[in-house]
Structure 1
Amino acid sequence: MQKKMIIAESPAMKHLLQNLSKIAASHSSIFISGESGTGKEVIAQAIHSLSPRADAPFIKVNCAAVPDTLIESEFFGHERGAFTGAISRRIGRFESADTGTLLLDEISEIPLTLQPKLLRAVQEQEFERVGGRDPIKVNVRFLSTSNRNMQEAIEQNLFREDLYYRLNVVPIYLLPLRERKEDILPLADYFLANHAIQKTLSEEAKKALLEYSWRGNIRELSNLIERALVMSNNEVITPEDLALNRSIPFSAKKTPTLKQLERRHILHTLKELGNNRTRTAKMLGISIRTLRNKLRDYAKL
């Protein structure tokens, strides 16, 4: 991902891009925060691409998607026989990222029990595989992302403060799309131009996009443009094609409870995103683990 591909018309994004090369040139750990769908992974990729490590590996691990029982092995690898099912040695993400960049996506979802080992690996650039005794030295640049309030996570004893400060040497905060409206129409044009179906937005549609709240941020805008391109019968997309004010249908005979509304919203979003749990969790601003637990509870009803 090159710097020129990042859409930046708002003052906040222009300021970030002005400093991106300087940030990328360092070897410091970077913590990218912001709501789900604001483009954290895109910025992380751009930092790697602009860094001296651009030709080295760029390894990503979605911390929320890995089960607690497997995450240590996912990070650090394991030796043959380390546990039941470990029939051969496995190289972990840290080792795979040696000389390059490791993106710890949704870092706040890492179990507290693993965080001391992670702190040592980040601090000393050294670790052992699960079931191994020999220390392995690496040279890795760390990028982390989270959509959570990390201070709250620290206060709730969900995340170690020393680990957070070690990862948060250079903080980057991405504003939600509703707070950088100058980027909305350029982003919409970008998504339109990169689709096989070529259509344009009417002036009324542009006005509707600017007035919308964008709870799902850039990801929601991308999905909405794609849906409008597919569903519109004309070459010009109208506000009706955008369907910004679609409501989740429910019976008006009885006021639903908050839990019922949440269940309907989650299931509706999951269906809209083709049952893709990773995309659904990001759209909803929750971890995959939380989504998985809620879906399991719904299956019992």
Structure 2
Amino acid sequence: MRGRPAALLLAALLTTPAGAATLPSASILSGTCCPGTLWTPDSRSLLFLDGPPARASTGIYSVPAGGGAVTRRFSSVAFYSPDLRWAVRPGTGDATTLERLADGRRFTLPTRGADVVWSSSEARVAYARSDTTGNFDRRTTRVFVANVFGAPRQVATVYGGGPTAWLSEQTLLMSGKASASARDRTLFALNVQTGARTTLRSALGFRSVASSPDGKRVVYTVAFDSAARNGLWLQSTAGGAPRELNAFGSYRWRDARKLLLIPLQTDGGPHVLRQYDVGTGAWTTPGDLGDQVRQGDWNVSPDGTRLSYLSARDGNVRVLRLP
């Protein structure tokens, strides 16, 4: 693909596969109320933030994936952990309060309002504290981990980076530069117990880094670098050579072996859904949406059976079943 003229490569990326069927979807939230919906852990409902005048009070609401009555799930507006076991409430100054919803027990971390990254068991968190002045690429970032109700400890220092996800209960996926003056960032796996690092890739920057649900693979985009580095890449988090996927667009993991991608579409036509099998290395096309996704707002249910998106056509939240 690298030897092809740029115009031909772009045309290949944007072409809708012939005969793609339209995937039927249903509107479950109307009235352009609800960008940023998220799936519940059991894949049965979607959560969204709403308030007056549509709702009696501001809160986190829930709607069944198949449509139906809207109910209030949380009256408190906060960030919630992926399994909805914890509420995370940044406060004034450095302190962020984490509350276990089962019993209301709380502890605080000095995150300075930074995002908290949860391990899959939700028994451990990671966060980064960066300098607040200077160019982002040169800012010192210190990465901390803590067990719930425990004291944080620093596990790494990088520049212009931070943690992305937990690959296991002991291993963080991270990126950043080794020094403020370095050109390239490194994408690496860090064992927070031993300090051992597995370097995956070096590049000017990494975009849309997403680890697979089992933590064994990572997909990422490199742009504005050399021709040999630019592109969409798939790689084992244990190391080894990356695999170029020769595609460009918005992507989400469906499960540990399948990646869904909506290619960039510039002609105003419906967005097409493509699926990549990491075992066979083959792309398939489940169909098109008969619509476009607004502002990249789409998500796959945790069980991999449904896809939700914000419709560009009518502003409604729509859900479809994946083939």
How high is the TM-score relative to the length of structure 1? 0.26
Which structure ranks higher in relative contact order (CA pairs < 8 Å, sequence separation ≥ 6)? Answer: 1
Q: Compare the two structures and name the one with the higher strand fraction.
A: 2
